[in-house]
A and B are shown apart, each in its own frame.
Chain A
Amino acid sequence: GAVVSQHPSWVICKSGTSVKIECRSLDFQATTMFWYRQFPKQSLMLMATSNEGSKATYEQGVEKDKFLINHASLTLSTLTVTSAHPEDSSFYICSARTNYNEQFFGPGTRLTVL
């Protein structure tokens, strides 16, 4: 299957700082990538759909000024959590969609805000 990477795999930061998470499709081009967050023992919650070369589409209730998404190329999307607070601590997972409409997920990034 296709490979999607995320970096970093885990990050600890102080409250008020910003954190950038990268999502890369390694062996295919993805015009569409997705960002999810997952709380313990809960399902994946879609945060936003990232489209290459255009603005991201955010799900209801997700603050676009807090979660900045940039999809600058066909293989890279970034999520920046601005002014992070402890309640933003979660497992963030990206996925990339192939031309055959299959979604492949990255390994996830665990964010802990102190």
Chain B
Amino acid sequence: QKEVEQDPGPLSVPEGAIVSLNCTYSNSAFQYFMWYRQYSRKGPELLMYTYSSGNKEDGRFTAQVDKSSKYISLFIRDSQPSDSATYLCAMSKGGSYIPTFGRGTSLIVHP
């Protein structure tokens, strides 16, 4: 079993939909949780960075962490075609900070 599991998709939604992206993990030592967006042939871009459980909102993006279930989510409201990309979750242990990445979910938002 991989430490971080993420469905590769692709996930195809119409413009304006609410998108839910998820990851599960097995290592309870993870304390820092991140979401990255990666466009084709580009490096990942940090979207959200959270510590421990709870919610964090930034514009159309909301990150949720449920440590009891070892489950994290990224919600995108009012999705746009420009949101079409691969979304990678990542997490790291306190004191280490080298993240372990999920394989990424490909999101397609069609007009």
Q: Which residues of A contact B (CB under 8 A)?
A: 1, 4, 6, 34, 41-44, 46, 49, 91, 93, 95, 97, 101-108, 110
Contacts and interface: CB of A to CB of B under 8 A. Distances in A.
A98 B32 CA distance: 15
Contact of A104 (B46, B88, B98, B101): B46
6 contacts: A1-B45, A4-B43, A34-B98, A43-B6, A44-B44, A105-B45
Contacts, number: 45
A1 B97 contact: no
A105 B44 contact: yes
Interface of B: 6, 8, 32, 34, 36, 41-46, 49, 88, 97-99, 101-104, 106
B40 to A, nearest CB: 10
| Main SS at interface, chain A | strand
Contacts of A105: 36, 43-46
A43 B98 contact: no
Given A104-B46, A105-B36, A105-B46, 13 more contacts: A4-B43, A41-B8, A41-B103, A42-B103, A43-B104, A44-B44, A44-B88, A46-B98, A93-B43, A105-B44, A105-B45, A106-B43, A108-B43
